[in-house]
Amino acid sequence: MTRVGILTSGGDCQALNATLRGVGKSLYNIYGDKVEIYGFIDGYKGLMYNNYRQLSPSDFTNLLTQGGTILGSSRQPFKQMRMPDANGLDKVEAMKATYRKLKLDCLVVLGGNGSQKTSNLLSEEGLNVVGLPKTIDNDIWGTDITFGFQSAVSLATNVIDCIHTTAASHNRIFIVEIMGHKAGWLTLNAGIAGGADIILIPEIPYKIDSVISKVKQRAAQGHGFTIIAVAEGAKTVEDAKLSKKEYKKRVKEMLKSYPSISYEIAAQIEEATGREARVTVPGHMQRGGTPCSYDRILSSRLGAAAALCISKGKFGVMMAIKNRKVVSVPLADIAGKLKVVDPSSDIIAEARLLGTSFGDE
């Protein structure tokens, strides 16, 4: 009998269930009734606190189009993994004990950056781990794309599309704030797909004067409205020069006056132009709903590849996409690295050619 544990960790996304399905169905097809799959509840928390349920083939049906995760998820920050919990429990030892108690042959982790750091830690501690790259942020090192990303791009694009029509009717300046944590992938892609006039991402620090002059230039050219896609982690040129600690302080100060960076930018634009600037924040909507067709295919491929990897006894890896091929990359190579937008990449140059401003010129 082969015993496989599986969990979904960190912020959810649209294609978690589709990926669980990919892994489950493929494992049953490889092993028949010679495999037992245990699902841990709420991510690593379930592994720590011995909270799981044995899954059966019927648990993996009707999942392809279902958002969220049937296993539940939670954030268990990597930097707290080596700290005991409130009752003094050694989390890493507790996770290892559950793994051993269930006589698992492998643990499959559907998770983002932080979760894959923990996957690597568990792998270093001797557990057999296979990671799967989940996040709407697309910021996992070692893979061209993560599942959840394209679904979120579609949703954020739809928001920009909706804002476009009302902005045009009222000749307003509109900011759409897009998720992505420290990476600008989501904002960049939704911004281009939605035809945003200005795109602000953390990787290209902005000057507020450039943003304002682009708005004024559009007005002078007869465009009454301007759409600005702002990443939640967007930074000014001055912010980018700050140390981590100083930047944290600056954000804390800013949050005393504004709900987020977009509202600060809106206030600055209003003051400089005397025109109305509105903010729309779609927030967690970007992680919800059904996965798009791209993600369903990606999740199915990655899930199947993970099952194959397990059957070959290959562990300590994360399944990834490289040039449209599914490959496995060592967890040790990706742990602790962040994949961000390269400001000198073709897509940025192409967007600039189309007239998009990144607020830096």
CB of 73 to ligand F6P, least distance (A): 10
Number of residues that bind ligand F6P (CB under 6 A): 11
Q: Are 14 and 152 in contact (CB under 8 A)?
A: yes
According to the binding rule CB under 6 A, does residue 11 interact with ligand F6P? yes
CB of 342 to ligand F6P, least distance (A): 19
CB of 148 to ligand F6P, least distance (A): 8
According to the binding rule CB under 6 A, does residue 177 interact with ligand F6P? no
User: From residue 232 to residue 251, what is the string marking binding to ligand F6P with x (rule CB under 6 A)?
Assistant: x-------------------
120 versus 187: smaller Cβ distance to ligand F6P = 187
Which helix H or strand E contains 235, and what residues bound it?
none
173 versus 179: smaller Cβ distance to ligand F6P = 179
Q: Are 202 and 235 in contact (CB under 8 A)?
A: yes
- Restricting to residues 136-175, name those near ligand F6P by CB under 6 A: 136-137
- Give the residue carrying structure tokens 């397990």: 310
68 versus 224: smaller Cβ distance to ligand F6P = 68
Largest alpha-carbon pair distance within the chain? 72
112 versus 282: smaller Cβ distance to ligand F6P = 112
According to the binding rule CB under 6 A, does residue 339 interact with ligand F6P? no
CB of 282 to ligand F6P, least distance (A): 11
Only one of the segments 16-24, 179-187, 255-263, 344-352 lies at the binding site for ligand F6P (rule: CB under 6 A); that segment is: 179-187
Both tokens of residue 273?
Answer: 């132009």
Give dist(CA 94, CA 40) in Å, integer: 13
59 versus 144: smaller Cβ distance to ligand F6P = 144
Give dist(CA 225, CA 198) in Å, integer: 12
- Give the residue from 140, 131, 175, 150 showing the smallest Cα distance to 287: 150
Q: Which of 128, 135, 151, 299 binds ligand F6P (CB under 6 A)?
A: 135
According to the binding rule CB under 6 A, does residue 179 interact with ligand F6P? yes
CB of 11 to ligand F6P, least distance (A): 4
42 versus 232: smaller Cβ distance to ligand F6P = 232
Give dist(CA 202, CA 339) in Å, integer: 12
DSSP state of 182: T
Q: Are 265 and 175 in contact (CB under 8 A)?
A: yes
User: From residue 250 to residue 289, what is the string marking binding to ligand F6P with x (rule CB under 6 A)?
Assistant: -------------------------------------x--
Give dist(CA 33, CA 27) in Å, integer: 10
Give dist(CA 274, CA 268) in Å, integer: 10
According to the binding rule CB under 6 A, does residue 112 interact with ligand F6P? yes
58 burial (CB, 10 Å; 0-12 / 13-18 / 19+) is: exposed
Give dist(CA 353, CA 361) in Å, integer: 13
Catalytic residues: 137
Angle (CA) 202-204-320 rounded to 5° is 65
Q: Which residues pair with 186 in a beta bridge?
A: none
Nearest residue to the partner ligand F6P, using Cβ: 179
Interaction site with ligand F6P (CB under 6 A): 11, 75, 112, 135-137, 179-181, 232, 287
